[in-house]
Structure 1
Amino acid sequence: MFITLEGGDGCGKSTQARLLAETLRSAGHEVVLTREPGGSPGAERIRSLVLQDDTLSPESTLLLFTAARRDHVENTIRPALAAGKIVICDRYVDSSRVYQGLDNPVARSRIDALHQLMIALDPDLTLIFDIDGDTADARRTIRDKASDRFEVRPREFHDGVRAGFRAIVAEHPGRCRLLDAGRSIREVSDMVLASLPETLLAPLLADLPQPG
C-alpha cells in the first residue's frame, strides 16, 4: 500500500508519518518511510537545490520537483511496493499541485500532465492534515531547524496552501482524508489509524482484550 501525508508547514505530518511507520511495523509489516522532495540519492541532491534557491522560476522549480519525484519513484517507491512493503511518504504530487499552483496559476495543468507522463503512480490513500493559521504559525516559530524558502513565505501564502489542500480533498474524496491536525499528537495519531483499512492493523487488534 502506498500512503502519502500532506499538509501545510507546521501541521505535524512528519511526526505522524514516523508514528504510523512504527505502528505498522509493530503489526508485522515491512514499511518504507520516505519523503519529498528527496527519498533517493538523486532526489536528495535536487532537494538541497530546490528548497534553498529562491532565484528559480516557477517553471524550473516544477521541472526539478518532477525530476526528483521520478528518481524517487524509480529507486525507492516502486521497488518497495513490488517487494510487498508499505510505503509512507511525507509529501508527494499533491504538494506540487498546491505549492507550485500558488506560484503559477497555470501550473496545475502542467503538473498533472507531467505526473501522468513521467510518474504515473498515485497513492492508495492520502491523509491531509488541516490546521488553522495561528496554530501553524506558532509551530513553525518554535521548530528547531532552518526554514526553507517556502516556510518563510507570508501568512497569506500559507492560508492559500491550506485552502489548496482542502480543495484537493474535495477533488479526490476516494483517496483523501481530511484530518484535524490542531489536536494533540495522540488524538491525531488515532485519527490516522482510523483512516487505514482494518486489515493493516489486524495483528494489533487481535492482541487486544476481547469484551466479555
Structure 2
Amino acid sequence: MSTPGTYAETGVFVCFEGGEGSGKSTQSGLLRDWLTGQGYAVRLTFEPGDTAVGRLLREIVLSPETGELSDRTEALLYAADKSEHVDTVVMPALERGEVVITDRYVDSMLAYQGAGRALDVDEVEQVARWATHDLRPHLTVVLDLEPAHGLGRFDERDRIEGESLEFHLRVRDGFLRMAKADPDHYLVLDARAGIDEIAAAIRERVAPLLTRAAHG
C-alpha cells in the first residue's frame, strides 16, 4: 500500500494514532511534558483543526449537523486540513529542530476514509501523501483498543464517533495492518495498559530519536 516517504532531516516527528477513546490526547500530552522537562523544544498539535482553516473543516467533518457527506468529499476535506497543517504548523516546527507531536495524521485518513469508508486505500493514500508532501513521522504510536470499549467512553458522539461498530472495526484493522507493514516506524501498544506503563514504553522508543532535536 505504502511506498518509502520523506523523513525530516531536522527535528523529530511523532504521531499518535488509534481508535476513539484510546488515550491519544493523554499520552501525547504526557510525552510533551516529559520532553519539555528534558529541555527539548516541543510543538504539540492535532488533526483535524489546529489551524484557522482546519477549524472550519473540523466543524464540517465532525459536526452531527453536517449529516451525510459523500465519502470522497469527506476524504478531500480531511486532506485539505492535513495540507494546511503540514505547511503552516508541522514543517516550520521541524525546520526549527523541534519535536512535533501530533494527535492524528495521514494514517487516520487511510484508516477512516480508506478502510472505514471502504474507499480504495491506494487512491486515498495518493491524495493524502500529495497533500502532505509525503512527509512521514519518524515514529507512529498506535494505541490499540477494542472499538466497543473506546466508544463506550463517550456520552455524546460526533459524526465519526457515531458510525457503526463495523465501521470502527475496519478502522482498527486498518491501523494494525499499517503498523505491521512498517515495524521500524511504528509502536503498537495495548491501550488498556496502565497510563504510566504506556508512557514509559513510548519514551523508550522516542529517546533514540532525540539526537536530531533542538533544546528550547
TM tier, shorter chain?
0.7 to 0.9
Q: State the partner residue of 2:142.
A: 128
The residue identity in structure 1 corresponding to 2:92 is P
TM-score (norm 2): 0.85
The residue identity in structure 2 corresponding to 1:167 is R
Q: State the partner residue of 1:30.
A: 41
1:167 aligns with 2:177: yes
Q: State the partner residue of 1:186.
A: 196
Report the CA distance shift for 1:59/1:82 in structure 2 as closer, same or farther (over 3 A): same
The residue identity in structure 2 corresponding to 1:123 is P
Q: State the partner residue of 2:86.
A: 73
Give the conservation status (yes or no) of the 8 Å contact 1:132–1:182: no
The residue identity in structure 2 corresponding to 1:16 is Q
Report the CA distance shift for 1:131/1:47 in structure 2 as closer, same or farther (over 3 A): same
Whole-Å separation in 1 of the counterparts to 2:130 and 2:145? 33
| Gap runs ≥5 in structure 2 | 1-11, 212-216
Give the conservation status (yes or no) of the 8 Å contact 2:116–2:167: no
Q: How does 1:1-212 map to 2 (within 5 A)?
A: 1-52=12-63, 53-120=66-133, 121-141=135-155, 146-198=156-208, 200=210
Return the index of the structure with the highest Cα Rg: 1
CA-based RMSD: 1.7
Give the conservation status (yes or no) of the 8 Å contact 1:130–1:181: yes
Moved more, 60-69 or 153-162: 153-162
Q: How many residue pairs end up in the alignment?
A: 197
Whole-Å separation in 2 of the counterparts to 1:112 and 1:79? 23
Report the CA distance shift for 1:83/1:60 in structure 2 as closer, same or farther (over 3 A): same
Give the conservation status (yes or no) of the 8 Å contact 1:20–1:189: yes
Give the conservation status (yes or no) of the 8 Å contact 1:24–1:200: no
| Gap runs ≥5 in structure 1 | 202-212
Whole-Å separation in 2 of the counterparts to 1:134 and 1:59? 26
Per the TM alignment, residue 199 of structure 1 is displaced from its structure 2 partner at its CA by 5.9
Per the TM alignment, residue 160 of structure 1 is displaced from its structure 2 partner at its CA by 1.9
Per the TM alignment, residue 196 of structure 1 is displaced from its structure 2 partner at its CA by 1.3
The residue identity in structure 1 corresponding to 2:146 is D
Give the conservation status (yes or no) of the 8 Å contact 2:14–2:100: yes
SS in 2 for 1:197: helix
* CA deviation map 1:96-118 (0-9, x unaligned): 00000134433312222113323
Per the TM alignment, residue 95 of structure 1 is displaced from its structure 2 partner at its CA by 0.3
TM-score (norm 1): 0.86
SS in 2 for 1:174: helix
Moved more, 127-136 or 66-75: 127-136
Report the CA distance shift for 1:14/1:71 in structure 2 as closer, same or farther (over 3 A): same
Percent of aligned positions with the same letter in both sequences?
35
The residue identity in structure 2 corresponding to 1:160 is R
Whole-Å separation in 2 of the counterparts to 1:39 and 1:164? 24
SS in 1 for 2:136: coil
